[in-house]
Structure 1
């Protein structure tokens, strides 16, 4: 039953409009950033180009991106009272769970491709095109490491896959929190704004407290600070998981509110 409903929701979500929007997110944002850094920057290795591509624009928009991938479609159904109407043909739990899984799967896939495709292009395709001119490395050059850099010891592809999965998982957590808030708050603007505000306000707070290694931005996109112990990236992530569990428990006890 759940599998069938999940397939229905995935097919329903794959509209031309959504496919175009997801393609724009995956392709347009990295392309814009690549054009910005293709000249006037000094690079020694392809991985530096990749890290620069997924810096600036994508981290700034990250909490908004994970929200717009699927949640506007769910919000539209919520406003049209679809939850109430569908209870006659599918159980409420199955319906909401399929919506949550659809949100998680689509958000995770789009964010993964947003990070992994630029990685593949920069590491394996761009060197053959010669768009980026690399500066030779000499003994006086020191290239600082960033968090996750040690994964390069296991191969470029391992680094790219694990890091892309890390960003994708964080995207799923943020979008799922927003999804749960939509179920429990009457004001959708507030529900969708809370994850966005947490991301940016907590970045500001950690900067003021001089602990940027614990900011949401620097733990997901750790290219603006020097290498930190890997456990530091788990601090805001575990906090968000706790929030998600609390929301799940609260939602399970307030199912009647979903139909209002």
Structure 2
């Protein structure tokens, strides 16, 4: 798709790669200060820390900045003279969704491959399951019940890595979609891009206060700080986000021709 190719400039790709490398850099600095029981521990170590907090911000940086700039600089207004507005917005939406999904899938699956295969091959980590009163056999069984989604390890590590990476990428794309519709609706572009992050934080606070920690956005996406829950629980927050995106889509497109941002 031409829109995706135009967004993948050399500068943006380099910046994305630099951002993606920070969990690896932190791991290399800290790896000798931790005792890892198995490869899954290495993987979750990569994705913990600041990533759950910065997740929505990073999702917004993939494409929403470009789209918001086009709205602000009236690029959409001039382009709509050459292509129907609804078709143009469908192209922009698809680019936002696919770029965000692809970026986060590559990020997550890349760290899965590193944690489960490359780090062991290079001898970067020494595993100490005995510190957790486990051995090489029991640690495998224990990993199946460690976190939400690790149930999938029973069907093979690649199955877990692929599906979980797709899950993280899907949530990133849905949050980016939420921001996309807010950019269309709101005059204040900064507030529009910030809305998904505010929802992420506020929603997490409300669910924690209501003793529904299993449905917190961070725990549904990065379920490493709590006991294993049924996989369906992670889909509840995503279903809410999908419903909200649908409502915003209807609102944004109902009177599209009279939208002040696109007039």
- TM-score, structure 1 normalization: 0.92
Q: What displacement does 1:52 show?
A: 1.3
Equivalent pair of 2:148/2:231 in contact (CA under 8 Å):
yes
Which runs of structure 2 are paired with 1:57-206 in the superposition (5 Å)?
57-137=50-130, 140-141=133-134, 143=142, 145-206=146-207
Unaligned runs of 5+ in 2: none
> Could you give the per-residue CA deviations for residues 90-120 of structure 1, whole angstroms, max 9, x where no partner exists?
1111111111111111101111111100110
User: Following TM superposition, where does structure 1 have runs of at least 4 consecutive aligned residues deviating by more than 6 angstroms?
Assistant: none
Structure 1 gaps, min length 5: 1-6
Query: In the TM superposition, what are the counterparts of 1:244-255 in structure 2 within 5 Å?
Result: 244-255=245-256
State the partner residue of 1:259: 262
CA contact (8 A) 2:37 2:132 kept: no
Match of 1:23 in 2: 17
* Aligned-pair CA distance for 1:209: 2.6
Which residue does 1:227 correspond to in 2? 228
CA contact (8 A) 2:37 2:131 kept: no
Contact map agreement 1:119 1:160 (CA 8 A) in 2: yes
TM-superposed deviation, 1:10 = 1.5
What secondary structure does 2:51 align onto?
helix
RMSD: 1.7
Cα 1:43/1:234, change in 2 over 3 Å = same
- Counterpart-to-counterpart distance in 1, 2:216 and 2:255: 32
1:4 paired residue number:
none
C-alpha distance in structure 2 between counterparts of 1:44 and 1:229, whole Å: 23
Cα distance in 2, alignment partners of residues 109 and 60 from structure 1: 20
1:36 positional shift: 4.6
Separation of aligned partners in 2, 1:210 and 1:42: 32
How far 1:138 moved relative to its partner? 8.1
- Relative to structure 1, the CA distance from residue 37 to residue 84 in structure 2 (aligned partners, 3 Å threshold; closer, same or farther) is same
Take 1:218 and 1:138, find their aligned partners in 2: how far apart are those partners?
26
What is the CA–CA distance in structure 2 between the aligned matches of 1:139 and 1:125, rounded to whole Å? 24
| Contact map agreement 1:108 1:168 (CA 8 A) in 2 | yes
Of 46, 53, 67, which residue of structure 1 is paired with 2:46? 53
> Given the two structures, how large is their TM-score scaled by the length of structure 2?
0.91
